[in-house]
């Protein structure tokens, strides 16, 4: 296939052959089969693509089309991929990392926003979009007395639509709950999956740590907070099921480490684990290449690998193939399966980001908490 | 002959009152909302919509009362549910292979005259499997009824009498959706089909499913599993020769011809109807009049009948 940019460079572009005509003729980035072409217009000394795809150079230089202010870069991007990126524009010694001005698709995270490229075949899942037919649940703020840390902690509590106090609802504790709500559309996802009967009406509690780089690193105090402070408070305030089979804990990145660590320290408390892109750093010899900050995690994961026990019944483990943690997660998946726990391991052509985690929620939640889809026709 | 009207889901676009008016029902309507389980009493919207007296039969509450008052029966009923679940699991194992055979055959590129007889045989095996399963579930339930003398258990008899008395004062029966197994069990436990005589029945969602000959559970794209439609049980048989497929726009891939063909042919001679909002299918005995619905055809196409 001759790419549009190649035709343009050869003087055989769309319309009158001008840069204006090219840019007006197509969505940017230009997706053609497994090839994606990024464009930038403007005066610059150099333009580079910044991305976090593991295995590729982090900065990839654009080429300039002679006699124009158009810059371009073509990459391979397999079907189904989703890629977050920015552009580094260098001019007169200044370096600006910006979102792609020609692409309106963005994804947000706690650090701001990135541009997003959807490869052929990727579609934003419809269950992540607001559905006017779905009855909306509510999200409440609650303060929890945190004896494990001293002081109090705030949590977000998602309550399903039409909740009844006479019923008992499955419970999921989700680390970084604010971020799941803001960047992974958690409330919309829960509303939709409940409406579609793919998960049961359930209560989801989002924790948010003021120091996740300490508390989510397999910290004993955090596990104590979740099990000995948070759970009793939730059981006192909300109609949550007390049966561990209806109780789950989960999170992404270090949130997944905190989840596994909590379940491991208190086996049988949580039967369901949602582990997304877990930062499961471990070593077989020597120290971790990830640096000293990861040593508490390594210590935990190594101890877990030595004595896994049976902390839960069902685990949903997911990871993006474009993130460095794919090595750790691919290593952990068969190990987890070997312990006798029921494990579903899923990979996606995506990175370490909140929309990747959002996109796996349907499969993960509906597997951990199957809804009454087959029996209810309302 | 009893009139049975199958309607599309009522939550977003209620059409029940039009059908009730059209049937000439002027008196009170007995409502069955047992499928809503603990929400059974929330019938304010339904009452307002119908603009005529509505009496809630309270079948879910009555069922709970029977189980609470009869602990021996409660345990036995729990065992029955457990055995039913196991039987359904066993059926699914066979179903998986039987359906795979039909699908594989439909996908083969060989000459049509070679393939079609094979498809027909595979469909026959699938129909036989569905039939056997339905019979086994019925036999299991009938044996349970006999062993536990349902009709003569005091709590059941008392509620049956009350239900029959209420029904005698109503001109029609409206059966809402919800949990299909709960709904079917409660309707059977309190003998609603028999006690309602020839009164017209209006049914939607799970309600429409349970008044047919066979209750078919279905979803073409569930988040887990293959999405094999399966027979749950025999229905009440009030709407004859019909398979009700409510909420089809969310549950069925009606643009997938092999899937449509498979459903249409598998449940033949019954006709399969996709019942979305606004749907109305009028049944009297074996006569079926489609006012508004989508009909699944043997050739894999879907025929729209009536106004959109």
Q: CA-to-CA distance for A103 and A88, rounded, in angstroms?
A: 15
- Which sequence spans correspond to the domains of chain A? 4-118, 126-368
pLDDT tops 70 at residue B234: yes
Alpha carbons A277 and A350: distance in angstroms, whole number: 11
Q: How confident is the model at residue B207 (pLDDT cuts 50, 70, 90)?
A: very high
Distance from CA of A242 to the nearest CA of B (A): 20
The mean pLDDT value of chain B amounts to 96
For residue A133, the chain B residues in CB contact (below 8 A) are: 12
Phi, psi (deg, nearest 5) at residue B171: -100, -15
pLDDT in tens, A40-53: 999 999 999 999 99
**Kind and range of the H or E run holding B10:** none
State the average pLDDT over residues A355-365: 98
Q: How far is B118 from chain A (nearest CA, A)?
A: 30
B109 CB burial (10 A radius; 0-12, 13-18, 19+): exposed
The contacts of residue B21 (CB under 8 Å, 6+ apart) are none
Please tell me the CATH superfamily of domain A4-118, with its number.
Immunoglobulins (2.60.40.10)
- In tens, the pLDDT along B13-57 reads 999 999 999 999 999 999 999 999 999 999 999 999 999 999 999
CA distance B222 to chain A (A): 8
Q: Are A61 and A48 in contact (CB under 8 A)?
A: yes
Q: Residue A377 is nearest to which of B206, B222, B224, comparing CB atoms?
A: B206
Q: Which of A103, A114, A30 is nearest to A72 (CA)?
A: A30
Binary contact (A162, B35; C-beta < 8 A): no
How many CB pairs below 8 Å do chains A and B form together?
51
Please check whether residue B249 touches A, CB under 8 A.
no
B307 has a pLDDT exceeding 80: no
Average pLDDT value for residue range B213-237: 96
pLDDT band of B306, cuts 50, 70, 90: confident
Q: Which segments of chain B are extended strands (E)?
A: 3-7, 29-32, 54-56, 172-175, 178-179, 201-204, 214-217, 230-234, 242-246, 271-275, 280-284, 287-296, 302-305
Is residue A373 within 8 angstroms of chain B, CB to CB? yes
CB A241 within 8 A of CB A168: yes
What's the gap in Å between the CA of A364 and the closest CA on chain B?
9
Angstrom distance (rounded) from CA A212 to CA A206: 14
User: Does any CB of chain A come closer than 8 Å to the CB of residue B14?
Assistant: no
- Helices B59-69 and B180-189, axial angle in degrees (round to 10): 70
What tokens were used for A279?
């930062």
Chain B positions touching A374 (Cβ under 8 A) are: 217, 219, 222, 230
- Interface residue A16 vs chain B (CB under 8 A): no
CATH topology of domain A126-368: Rossmann fold (3.40.50)
Phi/psi of residue B58, each to 5°? Answer: 60, 40
Question: By percentage, how much of chain B surpasses pLDDT 90?
Answer: 95
Taking CA atoms, A168 is separated from A158, A160, A238, A242, B69, in Å, by: 14, 12, 9, 8, 23
**Is the pTM here over 0.90, yes or no?**
yes
Q: CB–CB of A374 and B222 under 8 A? A: yes
Split at pLDDT 50, 70, 90, the class of A96 is very high
**Chain B residue closest in CA terms to A363:** B223
């Amino acid at each position: 296939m001759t790419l549009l940019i190649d035709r343009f460079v050869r003087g055989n572009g769309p319309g009158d052959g001008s840069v204006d005509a090219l840019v007006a003729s197509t969505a940017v980035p230009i997706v053609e089969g497994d090839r994606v072409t990024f464009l930038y217009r403007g005066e610059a000394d150099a333009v580079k693509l910044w991305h976090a795809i593991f295995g590729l150079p982090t900065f990839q230089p654009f080429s300039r089309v002679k006699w124009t202010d158009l810059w371009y870069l073509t990459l391979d991007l397999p079907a189904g991929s989703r890629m977050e990126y920015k552009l580094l524009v260098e001019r007169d010694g200044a370096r600006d990392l910006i979102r792609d001005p020609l692409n309106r698709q963005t994804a947000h995270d706690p650090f701001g926003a990135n541009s997003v490229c959807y490869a052929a075949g990727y579609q934003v899942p419809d269950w992540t979009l607001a559905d006017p037919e779905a009855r909306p649940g509510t999200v409440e703020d609650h303060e929890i007395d945190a004896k494990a840390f001293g002081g109090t902690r705030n949590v977000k509590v998602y309550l399903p639509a039409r909740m009844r106090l006479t019923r008992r609802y499955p419970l999921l504790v989700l680390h970084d709950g604010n971020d799941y709500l803001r960047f992974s559309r958690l409330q919309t996802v829960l509303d939709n999956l409940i409406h579609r009967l793919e998960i049961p009406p359930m209560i989801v509690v989002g924790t948010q740590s003021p120091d996740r780089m300490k508390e989510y690193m397999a910290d004993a105090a955090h596990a104590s907070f979740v099990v000995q402070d948070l759970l009793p408070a939730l059981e006192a305030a909300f109609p949550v099921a007390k049966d561990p089979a209806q109780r789950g804990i989960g999170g992404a990145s270090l949130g997944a480490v905190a989840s596994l660590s909590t379940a491991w320290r208190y086996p049988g408390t949580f039967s369901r684990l949602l582990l997304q892109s877990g930062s499961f750093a471990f070593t077989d010899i020597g120290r971790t290449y990830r640096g000293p900050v990861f040593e508490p995690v390594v210590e935990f994961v190594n101890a877990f690998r030595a004595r896994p026990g049976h902390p839960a019944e069902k685990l949903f483990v997911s990871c993006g193939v474009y993130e460095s943690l794919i090595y750790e997660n691919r290593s952990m998946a068969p190990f987890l399966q070997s312990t006798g726990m029921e494990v579903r391991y899923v990979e996606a052509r995506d990175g370490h980001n909140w929309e990747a985690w959002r996109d796996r929620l349907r499969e993960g939640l509906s597997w951990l908490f199957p809804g009454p889809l087959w029996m209810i026709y309302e | 002959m009893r009139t049975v009207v199958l309607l599309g889901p009522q939550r977003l676009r209620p059409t029940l009152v039009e059908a009730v008016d059209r049937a000439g029902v002027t008196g009170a309507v007995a409502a069955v909302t047992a499928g809503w389980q603990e929400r059974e009493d929330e019938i304010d919207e339904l009452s307002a919509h119908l603009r005529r007296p509505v009496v809630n039969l309270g079948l879910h509450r009555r069922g709970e009362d029977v189980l609470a008052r009869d602990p021996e029966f409660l345990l036995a009923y729990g065992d029955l549910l457990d055995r039913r679940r196991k039987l359904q699991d066993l059926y699914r194992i066979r179903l998986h292979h039987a359906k795979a055979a039909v699908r594989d055959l439909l996908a083969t590129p060989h000459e049509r005259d070679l393939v079609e007889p094979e498809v027909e045989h595979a469909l026959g095996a699938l129909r036989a499997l569905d039939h056997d399963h339905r019979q086994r579930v019925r036999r299991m339930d009938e044996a349970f009824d006999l062993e536990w003398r349902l009709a003569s258990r005091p709590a059941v008899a008392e509620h049956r009498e009350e239900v029959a008395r209420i029904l005698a004062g109503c001109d029609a029966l409206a059966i809402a959706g919800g949990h299909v197994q709960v709904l079917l069990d409660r309707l059977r436990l309190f003998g609603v089909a028999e006690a309602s005589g020839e009164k017209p029945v209006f049914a939607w969602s799970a309600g429409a499913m349970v008044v047919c000959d066979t209750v078919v559970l279905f979803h073409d794209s569930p988040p887990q599993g293959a999405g094999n439609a399966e027979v749950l049980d025999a229905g009440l048989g009030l709407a004859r020769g019909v398979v009700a497929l409510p909420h089809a726009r969310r549950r069925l891939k009606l643009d997938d011809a092999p899937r449509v063909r498979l459903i249409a042919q598998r449940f033949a001679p019954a006709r399969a109807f996709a019942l979305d909002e606004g749907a109305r299918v009028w049944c009297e005995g074996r006569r079926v009049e489609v006012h508004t619905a989508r009909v699944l055809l043997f050739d894999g196409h879907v025929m729209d009948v009536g106004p959109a």
